[in-house]
Amino acid sequence: MIKDPGRRYSFGFAGVAKYVARYRELRSEACMSRTLKRENIKIMNRPTVLITGSGGELGHGLIQYLSAEGKYDIVGLDLNEPANQDGMGRVEFHKGDIMDRSLLDYLFDRFNFDYVFHLAALLSTSSEKNPARAQDINVNGTFNLLERARKYTEKRTSPVVFMFPSTIAVYGLGSVAEKTRAGKVKEDQYLSPICMYGVNKHYVEELGRYFSTTYGMLESEQRRLKLDFRAVRYPGLLSADTIPTGGTSDYGPEMLHAAARGIPYSCFVKAESRLPFMAMPDAVDALIQLSRAPAKSLSRRVYNVGAFSVTAEEIYREILNYYPDAQVDYRIDPKRLEIVESWPADIDDSLARRDWGWAAKYEFRNAFRDYLVPGVRKHYGTRKTEPCYAVGQA
């Protein structure tokens, strides 16, 4: 009986030969030497975590957190080696693509992952510029990973926990008036995204729910264990360490980093454009907390997580408190503005609060005072015009 016909058709004979050759290559010493810090990795008696997009801004924060805890063995996967490896003690990095199915098989065979934090993605502006690539990375690459995590779950005594960062981009509000009227948006409202990234992320939320519930429903033998997919919907993120690439909420972090470097910034949305934002340590906490929440306390698989809601001008005013010479002008990009205007002004995270005790530590003012400004000062110091860390897939 053909158990997996889709895979047969898509591979073909040449495809299978190529796959086997690639898999062998991955197992060879030549490939192993391309990994970094290999000597640090385990010895496989502790829980093991796979982090895709490990070189991106969220990956960077998550690795720092998990490394400091020292309870896990961590495997990072990204297209590029991380530019900044500060605080990334116990990590084995693999340079590679989530579209490379033989690489994923190799990693799952070798590590028996307990957790997958799938952070690799093409953000909203980049996705809009190249929807085909967005579909590949955000959807097809994610499907590859979900498939492996599902398959390995069946061999285990506990499900692989699959953590997925979703986004406010899954929402689509019809106009600024509707956005103002809507206020804090709940998980099941306004799910008509206008941008490719939002469409991709919303689809993957559904795909994750499917893999965790009805996958294989027509098979005669019922599957013993199902994957445990969980997602947080993030607002725009503000990091002191990294600048995101290719997002549409990027004007927030870009404004701060430009001020810290002493260079003027042209903001592509209106002064009064409003979005919810969150400081990076809270974003990392949200992922960690949800990954550890007992399954019985969860009433859903996808949760909003919020922190504060601010306009572009409010961000600029706050920056002026620390960098009085900071210069911002508004040069609107109508297309990127349209995306921001379709995203909610704020999100209702009461279900996350109720089910797994979510509460952001940083409000707007203390995010700048206690985390963002000290962080960027540390990075740039007096070397004001140096570029900050480059980031890979975020």
91 binds ligand AKB (CB under 6 A): no
For 106, the 3-state DSSP assignment is helix
Q: Which of 144, 249, 291, 393 is in the footprint of ligand AKB by CB under 6 A? A: 249
Q: What is d(CA 45, CA 173) in angstroms, rounded to the nearest whole number? A: 48
Residue whose beta carbon is closest to ligand AKB: 247
Q: Write down the least CB distance from residue 275 to ligand AKB, Å.
A: 8
Q: Under 8 Å CB-to-CB from 233, ≥6 apart: which residues?
A: 166, 167, 168, 170, 187, 302, 303, 304, 305, 347
Active-site choice (106, 171, 190, 197): 197
Q: Which of 52, 124, 144, 291 is in the footprint of ligand AKB by CB under 6 A? A: 124
The nearer residue to ligand AKB, 111 or 197, going by C-beta atoms, is 197
Question: Which range, of 3-11, 39-47, 79-87, 245-253, touches ligand AKB by CB under 6 A?
Answer: 245-253
Question: Which range, of 7-15, 134-142, 156-164, 244-252, touches ligand AKB by CB under 6 A?
Answer: 244-252
CA proximity to 166, closest of 68, 58, 263 = 58
User: What φ, ψ does residue 105 adopt, rounded to 5°?
Assistant: -60, -45
Q: Are 255 and 315 in contact (CB under 8 A)?
A: yes
The nearer residue to ligand AKB, 160 or 240, going by C-beta atoms, is 240
Q: Is 190 a catalytic residue?
A: no
Q: Write down the least CB distance from residue 59 to ligand AKB, Å.
A: 14
Alpha-carbon dihedral angle through residues 127, 132, 138, 140, given to the nearest 10 degrees: 180
Q: What is d(CA 306, CA 311) in angstroms, rounded to the nearest whole number? A: 15
Q: Write down the least CB distance from residue 198 to ligand AKB, Å.
A: 8
Q: Are 203 and 243 in contact (CB under 8 A)?
A: no
The nearer residue to ligand AKB, 76 or 247, going by C-beta atoms, is 247
Kindly write out the interface string for residues 143-172 of this chain, putting x where it contacts ligand AKB by CB under 6 A and - elsewhere: ------------------------xxx---
Number of H helices, E strands in the chain: 16, 14
CA proximity to 311, closest of 355, 351, 267, 280 = 267
* Structure letter (DSSP) for residue 278: E
212 binds ligand AKB (CB under 6 A): no
Q: H-helix or E-strand containing 185?
A: strand 184-185
Q: Write down the least CB distance from residue 204 to ligand AKB, Å.
A: 13
248 binds ligand AKB (CB under 6 A): yes
Q: Write down the least CB distance from residue 8 to ligand AKB, Å.
A: 36
Centre a 10 Å sphere on the Cβ of residue 71 and count the other Cβ atoms it contains.
Answer: 11
255 binds ligand AKB (CB under 6 A): no
Q: Which of residues 104-123 bind ligand AKB (CB under 6 A)?
A: 123
User: What φ, ψ does residue 230 adopt, rounded to 5°?
Assistant: -140, 140
Residue with tokens 């490379």: 100
Q: How far is CA 45 from CA 29, 35, 72, 172, in A?
A: 23, 21, 9, 45
Q: Which of 197, 229, 303, 380 is in the footprint of ligand AKB by CB under 6 A? A: 197
Q: Which of 236, 276, 281, 344 is in the footprint of ligand AKB by CB under 6 A? A: 236
The nearer residue to ligand AKB, 153 or 342, going by C-beta atoms, is 342
Binding site for ligand AKB (CB under 6 A): 123-124, 167-169, 197, 236-237, 244, 247-249
Query: Which active-site residues does the annotation give?
Result: 197
